[in-house]
Structures are given as structure tokens and as C-alpha cells.
């Protein structure tokens, strides 16, 4: 392929990040140059998200920025927002090609197709449109689990997509509408891919999906899959991207207790008030959240536990919010991802009343974020002076320092004079020394 400069922008979840990385890997393999999104490129790929109106706004903004930066470039917009509202994205300009989220896997063929059929002759836009037309005949054979890069150029800790879609119908969510019903990667194929990563020297794999708790394949649920993968591999560690509180059962806890599973859990909590949870159509009550957190702490020594919370859901009274706040304070999460409620077209919650004023929802988010800050501080203090495993990500510009993520999900900056020979993706033992004030690092540490 004539040297094509391609830039990627990903919004939303870890699954989107993995899918972008897989497409980028195909472009690299075809000889393209991957450039940062903020510089002029020939082709931009924007992998969008529909979870909030802000995420959609950002997608539109990023597309406009790309077109302003490189007016002759082609912008390919894909992802959940492209699935739900293709017209809104197509209307942003004439050089935009919208690939709906359910056809995203087709992008894996674009690099090779351009390399075989275009080679720099003629308009890139015409070539991409021709590829899109050819693709239409082949849509049914798309494999949603084809997103498995050979090289992980964007992340040192590789992710493995084992599940997609969701069978729940939470009243606020349209990810389930955008990505359709739950589907799972067969367990044998998951094993083959994890073995491949292990053989490639990766220390850790992040198991990823829209709703991992809905994993079902070959008679295995998610806990069964995790136990199977641990048994059939040698040393690679497993990180669970997120999980549902009501599915933290005995089998899951037995798998989570294994030292090859990272002591880190992101729980999809959403609210700590049972009445609010009912309106959200979440399949659990506040007490189940309490039980899940307590049993996760029994299974592992002070794991990093985080929670997702929506503040200002329709009808959320002050008392309901205080119930959530009190439960989160009691459970002492190491982090809280707090978002104001965002009404999504096509969902039941969009029509629910009464709306909570933006100002009130914003104040609730502020209180939750302050609580999250205190939780993170307390968590780090408890780990000072302790030894943990860390996956190396990169050197800092002012070496000799390396950045990595610890087993319990802290961003670490490690002061060392033995950087040579350390490869991204490799695991090292470190001793946590202090809370960090530098850049994105949360702790400073030394090699143990
Ligand atoms: S569990 Fe609920 S919030 Fe999560 S993807 Fe499924 S429908 Fe959406």
C-alpha cells in the first residue's frame, strides 16, 4: 500500500478499544503508518459510543476536528452510535463513511482490500466506497470475535473479547440495543487465544465483553470459563474487566480467589438504593451489592474494588441518593465511576418522570467523586510498603523510570536503573513506596 497515514479515535468501553486496536493492527500489517489523531492523516477511523449524550457529542466533535485538520481525508465512523444514528454522523460531511456497529468486523478487511485494490491510484474516498459496496454481499459471514490482534501496539496488557451484546433490558441503556443479544466466544477458542498470548510472553490478559456475567459456551458460564482457562494454561494472569453484583456467587468467588486472577473488580453497581435499582430494571437489590463486596474481600486480600454509579436517575429523591451514598461509603470502594443520568432515545428511562435537574445531578456526581478520591487515597495508604506484581507498559521520557499497572490496578511509576531488557507486557515485582504526584502515576515504587 502507498504509505497511508491512518489515525484512530476510540470512545467508550474496553471492548471498543480492543476492536480499534484489532483494526489498527491490520493496517500496520498492510504497511500503513498509524499516526496520532490530532495530526493530518489520509484516513480517520472513529469508533463511537452511545452510552451517554456526551459520548455522542464527542464523536461528532472528533469527526469535525478530523475533517478540519485534513479536508481531503476520509473519515470512517463506526461503533454503537453509528449503529443507532447513522444519519447523524453521515450528515457531518461528504467524506464520511458510516459503518454500523454490527458491521464493524468488516473494517478488519479494509486495510488488505486497499492494499490489493487501491495502491494510491485515484480518490481514497471512491476506493473506500467501492470496498463498502463489495462488502455488502459478504455481511452475513462477519465474525464478531475476529477482533484479536496479532500485535497489541496500543496496550501492553492485551484484552481478549469473549462476549458481546446483552440480554438484559436495563431501562436506561441502549448499548443492549446497539450490540444486540448476548453471544460468546467458544471456550476452546478462548483457550487457544489465551495460550497464544502466553506463548508470546504476555503476563496478563484482560477478559472483556459487554456483560461478562452472560458468558455461556460449551456448558460453561463465566466462572466456569475462568476456572477452565486457569487449569489449561501455565502462568498468564487474568483480569476481569467488569462484572455484575448478582452474579458474584460461590463458583465465581472460587475462581476469583485463585492467585492467577488479578485482585481487581469493577462492579456494575449503578445505584445503592433498591427502589432506584427497580426503576433501572437492574436484577438485584442493595443488599446483594453489600454481600458481593464483602465476599470479594473475603476471597482476596484487599482487592481493588470499583463501582459504576449513575446519579440523578429519573425520580431519584434526596433520600434515595443518600441511601446510595451511604452504601458506597460503607463499602469503601477504591474508586467510583460516577456519571450524571443521560436520557437515551429509545429507552424506557428517557420517558420517566420526574427529571432530576442537571444542577442536582451534577452536585450528586461531585459528592460521589469526592468520596471516590477519599477511597483511592485510603486504598493507596493501605498498600504502602507492600510488594505487588506490575505489568510494564513503557518508559517515561525522563528515564530511568518505567510506568506500569499493578495487579491491584494502580498506575505505578517505578524508579530503576535496570530498564534495559524490560519489555512492555512483562511482569516485575515492585515495592510500593509512596503516593505519586507525577503525571498519571498514582504510586511511586522500586523494583523489589
Ligand atoms: S446489563 Fe444493562 S446496562 Fe449493562 S449492557 Fe446490559 S442492558 Fe446495558
Atom of ligand 1 nearest to the CA of 179: 5
* pLDDT-derived band at 326, boundaries 50, 70, 90: very high
| Class level of CATH domain 387-447 | mainly beta
Q: Which residue has the higher pLDDT, 43 or 152?
A: 43
**Which residue has its alpha carbon closest to ligand 1 atom 8?**
173
- The C-alpha atoms of residue 99 and residue 87 are separated, in whole angstroms, by 11
> Which cell numbers hold the place of 308?
459504576
Q: For residue 1, what pLDDT is reported? A: 55
Provide mean pLDDT across the span 342-365. 96
Q: For residue 362, what pLDDT is reported? A: 98
* pLDDT-derived band at 140, boundaries 50, 70, 90: low
Atom of ligand 1 nearest to the CA of 174: 8
Q: For residue 63, what pLDDT is reported? A: 97
Q: How far is the CA of 217 from the centre of ligand 1 (A)?
A: 20
Residue entry with cell 503516593 = 435
**What b-and-e string marks burial along 316-351, b requiring 16 or more CB atoms within 10 Å of the CB?**
beeebbebbbebbeebebbbbbbbbbbebeebbbee
* Residue 392 C-alpha from the chain's centroid: 19
Mean pLDDT for the chain? 93
3-state SS, residue 285? coil
Question: Cβ(166) to ligand 1 under 6 A?
Answer: yes
Q: What's the farthest any 2 CA atoms get from each other in the chain?
A: 65
Question: Cβ(310) to ligand 1 under 6 A?
Answer: no
Question: Cβ(277) to ligand 1 under 6 A?
Answer: no
Q: How far is the CA of 166 from the centre of ligand 1 (A)?
A: 6
The percent of residues above 90 in pLDDT, for the chain, comes to 84
Q: For residue 184, what pLDDT is reported? A: 98
Q: For residue 381, what pLDDT is reported? A: 97
Task: Report whether pLDDT(156) > 80.
Answer: no
Provide mean pLDDT across the span 68-96. 95
Question: Cβ(173) to ligand 1 under 6 A?
Answer: yes
Q: For residue 435, what pLDDT is reported? A: 94
- Mutate which of 170, 276, 308 for ligand 1? The one with the most ligand atoms within 8 Å of its CB, which is 170
Task: Report whether pLDDT(119) > 80.
Answer: no
Provide mean pLDDT across the span 145-156. 82
- Ramachandran bin of 122, using left for φ above 0, alpha for ψ from -120 to 50, beta for the remaining angles: left
Q: How far is the CA of 393 from the centre of ligand 1 (A)?
A: 31
159-382 topology per CATH: pyruvate-formate lyase- activating enzyme (3.80.30)
Q: For residue 398, what pLDDT is reported? A: 67
pLDDT in tens, 399-441: 678 899 999 999 999 987 765 667 788 899 999 999 987 778 9
CB atoms within 10 A of CB 161: 24
* pLDDT-derived band at 122, boundaries 50, 70, 90: confident
CB atoms within 10 A of CB 142: 15
- The C-alpha atoms of residue 364 and residue 283 are separated, in whole angstroms, by 24
3-state SS, residue 10? strand
Question: Cβ(214) to ligand 1 under 6 A?
Answer: no
Task: Report whether pLDDT(311) > 80.
Answer: yes
Provide mean pLDDT across the span 43-52. 96
Domain 5-141: homologous superfamily in CATH: Methylthiotransferase, N-terminal domain (3.40.50.12160)
Q: How far is the CA of 183 from the centre of ligand 1 (A)?
A: 14
Question: Cβ(402) to ligand 1 under 6 A?
Answer: no
Q: For residue 139, what pLDDT is reported? A: 61
Q: For residue 86, what pLDDT is reported? A: 96
- The C-alpha atoms of residue 46 and residue 55 are separated, in whole angstroms, by 12
Task: Report whether pLDDT(300) > 60.
Answer: yes
Provide mean pLDDT across the span 201-227. 96
Beta carbons within 8 Å of 141's beta carbon, 6+ residues apart: none
- Mutate which of 101, 168, 266, 281 for ligand 1? The one with the most ligand atoms within 8 Å of its CB, which is 168
Domain ranges of the chain: 5-141, 159-382, 387-447
- The C-alpha atoms of residue 400 and residue 397 are separated, in whole angstroms, by 9
The candidate with the shortest Cα–Cα distance to 345, out of 98, 91, 85, is: 85
Amino acid at each position: 500500500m502507498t504509505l497511508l497515514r491512518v489515525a484512530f479515535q476510540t470512545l467508550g468501553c474496553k471492548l471498543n478499544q480492543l476492536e480499534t486496536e484489532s483494526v489498527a493492527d491490520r493496517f500496520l500489517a498492510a504497511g500503513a503508518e498509524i499516526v496520532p489523531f490530532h495530526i493530518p492523516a489520509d484516513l480517520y477511523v472513529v469508533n463511537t459510543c452511545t452510552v451517554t449524550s456526551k459520548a455522542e457529542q464527542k464523536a461528532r466533535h472528533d469527526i469535525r476536528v478530523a475533517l478540519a485538520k485534513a479536508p481531503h481525508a476520509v473519515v470512517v465512523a463506526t461503533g454503537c452510535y453509528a449503529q443507532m444514528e447513522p444519519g447523524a454522523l453521515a450528515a457531518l460531511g461528504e467524506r464520511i463513511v458510516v459503518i454500523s456497529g454490527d458491521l464493524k468486523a468488516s473494517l478488519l478487511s479494509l486495510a488488505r482490500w486497499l492494499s490489493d485494490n487501491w495502491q494510491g491510484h485515484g480518490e481514497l474516498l471512491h476506493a473506500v466506497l467501492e470496498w463498502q459496496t463489495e462488502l455488502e454481499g459478504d455481511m452475513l459471514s462477519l465474525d464478531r470475535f475476529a477482533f484479536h490482534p496479532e500485535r497489541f501496539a496500543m496496550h501492553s496488557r492485551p484484552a481478549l473479547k469473549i462476549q458481546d451484546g446483552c440480554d438484559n433490558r436495563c431501562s436506561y441503556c441502549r448499548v443492549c440495543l446497539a450490540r444486540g443479544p448476548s453471544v460468546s466466544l467458544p471456550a476452546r477458542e478462548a483457550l487457544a487465544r489465551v495460550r497464544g498470548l502466553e506463548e508470546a510472553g504476555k503476563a496478563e490478559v484482560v477478559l472483556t465483553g459487554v456483560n461478562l456475567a452472560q458468558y455461556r459456551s460449551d456448558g460453561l458460564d463465566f466462572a466456569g470459563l475462568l476456572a477452565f482457562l486457569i487449569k489449561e494454561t501455565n502462568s498468564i494472569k487474568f483480569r476481569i474487566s467488569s462484572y455484575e453484583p448478582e452474579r458474584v456467587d460461590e463458583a465465581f468467588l472460587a475462581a476469583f480467589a485463585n492467585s492467577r486472577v488479578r485482585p481487581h473488580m469493577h462492579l456494575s453497581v449503578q445505584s445503592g438504593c433498591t427502589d432506584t435499582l427497580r426503576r433501572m430494571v437492574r436484577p438485584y437489590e442493595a443488599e446483594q451489592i453489600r454481600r458481593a463486596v464483602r465476599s470479594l474481600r473475603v476471597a482476596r486480600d484487599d482487592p481493588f474494588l470499583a463501582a459504576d454509579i449513575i446519579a440523578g436517575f429519573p425520580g431519584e429523591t434526596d433520600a434515595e441518593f443518600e441511601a446510595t451514598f451511604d452504601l458506597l461509603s460503607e463499602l469503601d470502594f477504591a474508586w467510583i465511576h460516577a456519571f450524571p443520568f443521560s436520557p437515551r432515545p429509545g429507552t424506557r428511562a428517557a420517558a420517566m418522570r420526574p427529571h432530576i435537574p442537571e444542577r442536582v445531578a451534577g452536585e450528586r456526581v461531585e459528592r460521589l467523586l469526592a468520596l471516590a478520591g477519599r477511597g483511592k487515597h485510603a486504598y493507596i495508604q493501605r498498600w504502602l510498603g507492600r510488594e505487588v506484581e506490575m505489568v510494564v507498559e513503557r518508559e517515561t521520557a525522563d528515564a530511568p523510570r518505567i510506568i506500569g499497572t499493578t495487579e491491584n490496578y494502580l498506575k505505578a511509576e517505578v524508579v530503576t536503573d535496570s530498564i534495559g531488557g524490560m519489555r512492555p507486557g512483562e511482569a516485575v515485582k515492585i515495592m510500593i513506596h509512596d503516593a505519586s504526584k507525577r503525571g498519571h502515576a498514582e504510586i511511586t515504587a522500586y523494583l523489589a
